[in-house]
Amino acid sequence: MPYCANCGKDLPLSTNFCPHCGTRVASAPTAAPRASERPMAAFILSLLGGIFIAIGGLATAVLGAALGALVSLFWRGAGALIAAIAFLGLTFGMIAIVGATMINSGLRDKVRTGSILVIVFSIVGGLFSGVIGIVGLILGLVGGILGLTWQQA
């Protein structure tokens, strides 16, 4: 099915303008991007970054539960604080994974939006996900920057 090169929505077969965004459609509507026309390096690095951040958040939650019980002898609420921080890391990792799937769409606007999501949530999520999250932060940054600089063929 043909799609709009601007907004990415499906187009009727015989149309001159996109019914969703109003962009003029070329004489032959474009087909969905092939795998070779997608920013694969940006997608893979961003996906790995999101996975590392999510795993780092989960590992921080497990470690935080153990340490929280020990620290709570001296400071009440420490376990809950560590769990909340770990939950944020896990959530931000999942949002980075969503951004990576947007990068894989191959549509210019979705790649740009997904790249920004990956960069922002890799930075924020990497700070909440321990050492494993730092690896995810680096992978997410590189993948997001590759997505932002990607030029459609």
**CB within 8 A of 102, min separation 6: which ones?**
110, 111, 113, 114, 117
Check residues 112 and 22 and name the one with the higher pLDDT. Answer: 112
The mean pLDDT of 1-7, rounded to a whole number, is 74
Q: How high is the pLDDT of residue 29?
A: 47
The pTM (predicted TM-score) of the whole model is 0.73
Counting residues of the chain whose pLDDT is more than 70, the rounded percentage is 90
3-state SS class at 29 = coil
- pLDDT, tens digit, for every residue of 43-75? 999 999 999 999 998 888 888 777 777 776 677
